[in-house]
């Protein structure tokens, strides 16, 4: 569970989206459910051997790298734009947010198009799990899956307690600036791998 949490907790596009939705109190159950179930599927793929397949195909890894870098740069630009324009959120967002379908689609995009989701859960966790015998590898997977579920539900539903802080434009600008810098750094790291 600890190893899985160490990979999941890092600031990234997915966690930033969950945090935003949690602060807005908008479709939180749907968002955290999509993230948790997606991680369960990705962890299962990694422990089941998909990580070894991806590593064995250098062309696939190259495509992942460049597509992932493009995704992260795009997400960084969106965060930078929000940081420049500013804005604060209140807990009451009735009628001002995204529809459920658009929210779920965005959540699926930041999860399944995010290269770090694959690198962390499929490649890294899958590679680490391959060092264990079959029953132990699935015990590791169960712990990582549980950690993911706990993390996303805690982040999504706990974010509401940060709403007073994020009612100020400055807090959102700082958060979006940090997200933009982290996403650009991750994109740069992918490009120079």
pLDDT of residue 88: 58
Q: Which two tokens stand for residue 90?
A: 């209140």
pLDDT of residue 51: 64
Question: Among candidates 152, 116, 149, which has minimal Cα distance to 22?
Answer: 152
Q: Phi, psi (5° rounding) for residue 41?
A: -65, -45
pLDDT 10s digit of each residue in the chain, 193 long?
877 777 777 767 788 889 889 988 999 999 999 999 999 999 999 888 876 676 677 787 777 778 778 888 888 898 899 889 876 554 444 446 789 999 999 999 888 887 777 777 887 788 788 778 888 889 999 999 999 999 999 999 999 998 888 888 888 888 888 888 888 887 887 788 7
What share of residues in the chain are helix, strand, coil (percent, to 5)?
80, 0, 20
pLDDT of residue 92: 46
- The three-state secondary structure class of 192 is coil
pTM of the model: 0.76
């Amino acid at each position: 569970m600890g190893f899985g949490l160490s990979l999941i907790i890092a600031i990234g596009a997915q966690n930033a989206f969950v945090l935003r939705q949690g602060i807005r109190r908008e479709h939180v159950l749907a968002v955290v459910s999509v993230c948790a179930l997606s991680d369960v599927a990705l962890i299962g793929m990694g422990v089941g051997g998909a990580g070894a397949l991806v590593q064995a195909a250098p062309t696939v890894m190259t495509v992942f790298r460049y597509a992932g870098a493009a995704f992260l740069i795009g997400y960084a630009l969106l965060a930078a734009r929000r940081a420049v324009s500013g804005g604060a959120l209140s807990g009451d967002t009735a009628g001002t947010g995204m529809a459920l379908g658009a929210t779920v689609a965005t959540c699926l995009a930041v999860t399944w198009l995010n290269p770090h989701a694959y690198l962390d859960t499929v490649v890294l966790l899958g590679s680490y799990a391959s060092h264990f015998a079959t029953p132990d590898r699935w015990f590791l997977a169960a712990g990582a899956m549980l950690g993911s579920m706990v993390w996303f539900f805690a982040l999504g539903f706990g974010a509401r307690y940060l709403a007073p802080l994020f009612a100020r434009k400055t807090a959102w600008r700082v958060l979006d600036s940090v997200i933009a810098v982290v996403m650009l750094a991750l994109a740069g790291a992918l490009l120079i791998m």
